[in-house]
Amino acid sequence: MIQARSDEPALEYRFLKFDTHSKAEKGLNDAIAEGWQLVTYQAAGDSTSVTHFVVVSRTSQPESRRFGFGA
């Protein structure tokens, strides 16, 4: 495992999952407004249900690091 020195910025990732396109769009727009960048977007499902998966990342400064995912 490679670890950043405690005084270096770290790259954070967040995985988001939504059950509608409009929720995915709003969630991504909110994340971008908070300084996150889109890494990948994928939608999967059938004619009755589609799940939207979004991965975002950002560089965090050492004093603001949070471990794990979630808001």
Mean pLDDT of 33-60: 94
Q: In total, how many domains does the chain have?
A: 1
CATH code of the domain in which 36 resides = 3.30.70
* Statement: residue 37 has pLDDT above 90: yes
Range(s) of the domain holding residue 48: 10-59
Band (61; pLDDT cuts 50, 70, 90):
low
The reported pLDDT for the residue numbered 71 is 44
The reported pLDDT for the residue numbered 10 is 84
Q: Is residue 40 situated within a structural domain? A: yes
Q: Is residue 53 situated within a structural domain? A: yes
Q: Is residue 1 situated within a structural domain? A: no
Q: Is residue 42 situated within a structural domain? A: yes
The reported pLDDT for the residue numbered 32 is 95
Q: Is residue 70 situated within a structural domain? A: no
SS3 per-residue string spanning the chain: CCCCCCCCCEEEEEEEEECCHHHHHHHHHHHHHCCCEEEEEEEEECCCCEEEEEEEEEEECHHHCCCCCCC
Q: What is the pTM of this model?
A: 0.69
In whole numbers, what is the pLDDT of the chain averaged over residues? 84
